[in-house]
Amino acid sequence: MSLKNPNESIALAAAQRRADELQRVPEVLRPLLQSIPERARMLLITTLSDLVLDTPAPFEQRRGMAMGMIYGAGKRDELTPQEVGTLVAYVLDLPA
């Protein structure tokens, strides 16, 4: 990374962070997320990724946020009921 262009460095770091977060979401679930608009999809990917990390936020709080995002996407018809069920099952199966 070049320090000549701080904006480029920031953009590259952000892109790497998003790529790392996506890698923590099981590959089989990634296609389900494609129907969600980009901003909401990125937030959900971040939240799902955080569920498998040790972060300062309590696990149940992170789980609740993920569930709310998933159900919200279902209410907006961005996910089918089956896709909602698959994502919810994944979140519920994660150890606290």
Residues 61-95 have pLDDT tens digits of: 999 999 999 999 999 999 999 999 999 999 999 99
Pick from 19, 22, 27, 26: nearest CA to 91? 26
Which residue in this structure is represented by tokens 């959900």? 44
Domain boundaries, the chain: 6-93
Q: What is the pTM of this model?
A: 0.85
Q: Is residue 87 within 8 Å of 36, Cβ to Cβ?
A: no
Helix or strand run (H / E) with residue 72: helix 59-75
